[in-house]
Structure 1
């Protein structure tokens, strides 16, 4: 398991171009009219009806799940159908959710950390309209390393904290990734990614809180090869939504994923957070 190197200018140029395309796609998703930068509030529901400042209706939750009661002249579109009066979203699965449309606003109704939440997403939210991109380290092939995936005998339920105080997430960790960086043997506990076989690692390192976001960064890893080999490209270490907005419930890395080295690759502290945490560059 060694640090990969690039031997030709052409290969280096291609590596950098692929990274720029990846980073542009990351930023496009973040700046989507209904992306995380458009969220105007994080509302935790309970049994008491609540009128929200950024969404219509009175909202509650209970054993039967989330319910909204819309007032006169109020309506939402859910799954393509216009709803008025009382609408029941039902019991939502953990990390699942439903989107209700209100004009140009997308209202996320979801469950996070066992709590039912509502997060309206307004395209004209200043955080989104003023977004100027995310600073990042220049892409460098030395941060693209080969590792080995070691599956656990059984997936390990792993409880981690969240960006929101008092909230916890539980993920099944299928294994860990072992690798070397600058001659040091390291390992990261891996969670399941978005695609079949894909892995996700959450980590901090010696740059966290200095040049990179303090709480976490994330890295998706393509499915392991038949011999367990995986590619870890830390140039694609990216910020989670909590790096930009206080209305995200992002998970924190497990304790063992605090790397004792400075990973000077990937995305840095967002401009929106830089003044209060560290460098802007």
Structure 2
């Protein structure tokens, strides 16, 4: 049995919007998730050698791709999959991988303390406003010697799109991400032992701007900022955006840069 605590899922309005956006994207997500697969696979390679958890949690499991990868890698272990988006969980459950699929918030995990050996989270924690709370919850839920392995995004992600919009109207049309220095500070201040923390640049290329915006919408990762401009974007502004982004074009196509953060932390083993 999973040691679940009665801790209702909650959050600020923007967090509910994140959950709703990813729920709507559940059926289209896997068709455009090449970057997400690449980043999650890289994160798997960063787990400590000879590490064999008895129970793992896929934190922000999405459609469950890496829940199934973890189940295959750690076949003798119990697996849990958690996501804030109910639509993602409905998609993931029939595909298996984890023993239980749980609706929950990374900042307030609905799990008892010292109940997991591995918290694996790929490209989910960038949506958490309070990263210090995420690390605190990880420390609470991990058993001594347990590992938190995460990938996330930092400032510089989608910079080409941000700069192009800035040239058009100055409004915020692109999701904000915390600085890498903030990840460094939060990890250093946490009760967890930092094993590694670094960034890697990934650049995707698209034949046109529509290809990029279609992918972001299919992922559920289009602009979720509070205070984003409302209403329809006028044709003149769209033409101006296309012209601005075209100035970024490379031989491979229009670039979309992602600044990916990789972190591995461990709860101190018992003496």
Output the TM-score relative to the length of structure 1.
0.22
- The answer to which structure has the higher helix fraction is 2
Greater relative contact order (Cα < 8 A, sep 6+): 2
- The answer to which structure has the higher strand fraction is 1
Output the TM-score relative to the length of structure 2.
0.23
